[in-house]
Structure 1
Amino acid sequence: MVNDYGGSTTPPEHRDSWQTPPEIFAALKQEFRFIADVAASAHNHLLPVYFTEHDDALAQDWAGRLPIGFAWCNSPYSAITPWVQKATEECRKGIGTVMLVPADTSVGWFSLARRSCTEARFIVDGRLSFIRADTGKPVNGNNKGSMLLIWNPFASDFGITGYVSRDTLMAIGRKLLSDREPADERAA
């Protein structure tokens, strides 16, 4: 059996709808040039092209609907396994996926991902403060670290393990986001 993450203390109605911190997303978007947010909602999507629960991204043919490139996936933590399976399938068809998941190597979905993804990149030097779905505010106290699982259909290497500092990602993201602000907002 492939177990999913079960350590959340978040109320069930909000458990699977946390948004990625904008700075983290901006830094990763700069690197991967995402084409779609495949596990989103109308309230937490980070790209103009996104799939909601209603769209059922797991049943969609991403390669048939999206241009070649990388999809962003902050998968529901209550059911990570089907997203790992979907990312593996879509990678074979030319769509890469960068998936944000809890840093937990003891669960079945990690073992499954390790056999198919090109890179596991651990976010070190701190935990992410995800954005609450109900308030839109960042929340400290994440009970696990985070990592990125990357399926790159353009890479010849397989099974790379890497590390990136949370603070480095946040600094890059803050710089990218501030560079995008209109000049009159920066002057205020």
Structure 2
Amino acid sequence: MNLAEIKQKPFHEPKDIGDEWRTPRALALGIEAECGHFSYDLFTDSEINARFPRFLTNGQNALVIDWCALASDDDVPATGFANPPYSRSEKDSMGEYIKGLKACMDKAYEEMQSGFKSVWLVPSATGAGWFPRHTATSIWYLEGRVTFEVPEWYNQDPNKPLPSSARGDSVIVIFDPHHVGKQTHRYPKTRDLIKRGEEIIDAREHNPIHIWRTFGCEDETADLERKAKYMIDFIADFARRGQQTVDAKQYLCQIINEQHKEEGPFELTRLTTLKRRARNSIYDMIEKGKAA
């Protein structure tokens, strides 16, 4: 049974989750705060389970996509976060890897050579053949196990045991093209990263201007269209996270005007397409019950 079929089941049991365990949102944001902005969630099954606004799904297969080219096309920093599949290696009908930690680490190193920075949450299997002991620029050994979350689509079968997210100890491995010198090591506490992420979540829920800036919109030399595109991503993310924003058009105009008080009101009439995308993102989420 493939993932699409599993999702359609009326009830699920732990074995249905497979590789789809989610990184806790607060932990993902805490890691981002320590490592710098992430443009992409490189491994996710859908938008609703993604931890960052731009993402690559199972169907796209991150292992065959040129990440640097993708970031260039999207006009965003070449950075990404990954909680990859932990299961054994697998190839598609064309002989391309679709999963496997060795293939993931090889891809991370290859993309680093081209300028893409990736940060990975993986098992602390330091003796395994795939472990990037010589290729990663930094390795963080987390103190405290990560409690992974079930995917959004998971509907607990009342007659089955509750799923356990215990996956052993975890490490964060970083492939940074700008790193200089020897490989570095850190030993952060998982609970501290989660706490920092929770603070960011609180700030996002109460200070949308702060969020816009965390999305990389501080550069005053960037044109307004580019900044508006950042806000489209932010609005869609805000809706997914439960913020009740009904009139996306008005909200977008409000935030942009806040950032451009000295320049006077900014009319969105020349951004009709972007307005429609923002509005539809919100309304779609409300209809699905994710933002209402």
User: TM-score, normalization: structure 1?
Assistant: 0.83
User: What amino acid is aligned across from residue 40 of structure 2 in structure 1?
Assistant: A
Please give the root-mean-square deviation of Cα atoms over the aligned residues, in Å.
2.1
SS where residue 56 of structure 2 aligns?
Answer: coil
In the alignment, the residues of structure 2 paired with residue 54 and residue 131 of structure 1 have an alpha-carbon distance, to the nearest angstrom, of 21
CA deviation map 1:2-26 (0-9, x unaligned): xxxxxxxx52x31211110111111
Task: Call closer, same or farther: CA 1:143–1:48 in 2, change over 3 Å.
Answer: closer
Q: Which has the higher strand share?
A: 1
**Which of 107, 111, 116 matches 1:95?**
116
**Which of 60, 65, 75 matches 2:70?**
65
Q: Does the 8 Å CA contact 1:68/1:94 hold for their aligned counterparts?
A: no
Q: Does the 8 Å CA contact 1:128/1:140 hold for their aligned counterparts?
A: no
Task: Call closer, same or farther: CA 1:53–1:64 in 2, change over 3 Å.
Answer: same
Greater relative CO (CA pairs within 8 A, separation 6+) = 1
User: Which residue does the alignment assign to 2:59?
Assistant: 54
SS where residue 50 of structure 1 aligns?
Answer: strand
Q: Which runs of 5+ in 1 are unaligned?
A: 1-9
Runs of 4+ residues over 6 Å off in structure 1 = 136-139
In the alignment, the residues of structure 1 paired with residue 127 and residue 171 of structure 2 have an alpha-carbon distance, to the nearest angstrom, of 13
Q: Does the 8 Å CA contact 1:19/1:130 hold for their aligned counterparts?
A: yes
In the alignment, the residues of structure 2 paired with residue 139 and residue 22 of structure 1 have an alpha-carbon distance, to the nearest angstrom, of 18
User: Which residue does the alignment assign to 2:139?
Assistant: 120
Identity percentage over the alignment?
26
In the alignment, the residues of structure 2 paired with residue 48 and residue 167 of structure 1 have an alpha-carbon distance, to the nearest angstrom, of 24
Q: Does the 8 Å CA contact 2:39/2:79 hold for their aligned counterparts?
A: yes
CA deviation map 1:79-107 (0-9, x unaligned): 21111011000000000110000111121
SS where residue 87 of structure 1 aligns?
Answer: helix
Say if 2:128 is the partner of 1:107: yes
In the alignment, the residues of structure 2 paired with residue 136 and residue 173 of structure 1 have an alpha-carbon distance, to the nearest angstrom, of 26
Q: Does the 8 Å CA contact 1:23/1:174 hold for their aligned counterparts?
A: yes
Task: Call closer, same or farther: CA 1:139–1:119 in 2, change over 3 Å.
Answer: farther
Q: Does the 8 Å CA contact 1:96/1:150 hold for their aligned counterparts?
A: yes
Q: Which runs of 5+ in 2 are unaligned?
A: 1-13, 88-99, 157-161, 208-242, 244-292
Q: CA deviation at 1:69?
A: 3.2
User: Which residue does the alignment assign to 2:255?
Assistant: none
Q: Which has the higher helix share?
A: 2
Q: CA deviation at 1:143?
A: 3.9
Q: Does the 8 Å CA contact 1:131/1:139 hold for their aligned counterparts?
A: no
1:108-187 pair list within 5 angstroms: 108-110=129-131, 113-124=132-143, 126-133=144-151, 134-135=153-154, 142-182=166-206
In the alignment, the residues of structure 2 paired with residue 115 and residue 104 of structure 1 have an alpha-carbon distance, to the nearest angstrom, of 14
Q: Does the 8 Å CA contact 1:33/1:69 hold for their aligned counterparts?
A: no
In the alignment, the residues of structure 2 paired with residue 170 and residue 104 of structure 1 have an alpha-carbon distance, to the nearest angstrom, of 22
User: TM-score, normalization: structure 2?
Assistant: 0.55
Q: Does the 8 Å CA contact 1:38/1:72 hold for their aligned counterparts?
A: yes
In the alignment, the residues of structure 1 paired with residue 101 and residue 155 of structure 2 have an alpha-carbon distance, to the nearest angstrom, of 23
**Which of 20, 26, 37 matches 2:41?**
37
